[in-house]
Structure 1
């Protein structure tokens, strides 16, 4: 089991990254909430991982904190929720926002996420309620262990920031019209793709 990777970010194309560790490049898929916190390419990053083996593929998922990974693992144990949908849920809202939805029995917010119907949302609220209590107790007082270089500076803004953001939203299941509208509304001069994705998601 691959539980944690520390290496250099070689490629970033939401929601995937290529992390080079000891000369080996690992392809990982991240929730957009985590992707938006990554540093620029060529810098060091630490990601906690979850490895999924299927008949037709071997997939590696990455997270900035152990708590985010723990929530992902709880989500995929819920009936009707696979890794792809769990990734979508954690991309559309932060871990704390998801916890708030569960505490408030907020079906309305959950069904706004692509792929989450009313029945799935209701099932999540019921099955996650007790599981989250244990998760919150275990994570109380913890801090993020994500490594950023002390001389970190934002990467130059690429001309494809809008295209990258739209592509990231499409990969989560949002419709082209929804993605384009959200990105256009969130775009401001000088924003990078990570910041644009985060703002677009907030406006969805």
Structure 2
């Protein structure tokens, strides 16, 4: 499975991105929340990924934060919600807004997303209740700088899930460097 890509952005056409990684171009679909925060053409970027293999296609989805990828994975577990619908939801609502809508059972906020009807919104509220908790909602906000994003990506690469990485990140001082942050996070996760 492809978990993360770091390379140069070769093409950008919403919602598609082409990242050149050592001469190999990877096509990714990204939510608009990630797309707007990507660097310009020719600049380096790191995206967390989710790889979907179907009978008729192989698709790679990219995310700037672990919280977005985790929310995407929760969404596609719901019957009737595929990767395209999950991308649409994450393009229309931030992870924090989605978490708040689920916690407050606000179907109206979900219905405003293109492609989400009343029945789908109600199913999302029912099936995601308790699954998109406060940890996930604040994880996107918690990854406020490059050092924190690098720490989360390192923890995920070491086999920790997105939620564990976000919790470990919360325990770190806000101005910690990458190497010290990884060491401190590993210590807190080993307890």
Q: Same fold (TM over 0.5)?
A: yes
In structure 1, how many angstroms separate the alpha carbons of the residues matched to 2:146 and 2:37? Answer: 9
Are positions 1:115 and 2:111 aligned together?
A: no
Query: C-alpha deviations, 1:50-102, integer Å up to 9, x for none?
Result: 00001111000000011110000000001110000000000011111111111
Aligned pair in 2 of structure 1 residues 100, 55: CA closer, same or farther (>3 Å)?
Answer: same
Counterpart contact for 1:99–1:132, Cα < 8 Å: yes
What is the match of residue 55 of structure 2? 55
Deviation at 1:128, TM superposition (A): 0.7
Counterpart contact for 1:7–1:46, Cα < 8 Å: yes
What is the match of residue 129 of structure 1? 129
SS in 2 for 1:18: strand
What is the match of residue 186 of structure 1? none
What is the match of residue 104 of structure 1? 104
What is the match of residue 27 of structure 1? 27
Counterpart contact for 2:9–2:20, Cα < 8 Å: yes
In structure 1, how many angstroms separate the alpha carbons of the residues matched to 2:140 and 2:41? Answer: 32
What 5-or-longer segments of structure 1 have no aligned partner? 148-204
Aligned pair in 2 of structure 1 residues 145, 25: CA closer, same or farther (>3 Å)?
Answer: farther
In structure 1, how many angstroms separate the alpha carbons of the residues matched to 2:116 and 2:141? Answer: 31
Aligned pair in 2 of structure 1 residues 88, 54: CA closer, same or farther (>3 Å)?
Answer: same
Q: Greater relative contact order (Cα 8 A, min sep 6): structure 1 or 2?
A: 1
What 5-or-longer segments of structure 2 have no aligned partner? 148-191
Aligned pair in 2 of structure 1 residues 140, 61: CA closer, same or farther (>3 Å)?
Answer: closer
Q: Which runs of 4+ in 1 moved over 4 A?
A: 144-147
Q: What pairs up with 1:1-204 in 2 under 5 angstroms?
A: 1-133=1-133, 135-136=135-136, 139=139, 142-144=142-144
Deviation at 1:133, TM superposition (A): 2.1
In structure 2, how many angstroms separate the alpha carbons of the residues matched to 1:139 and 1:123? Answer: 24
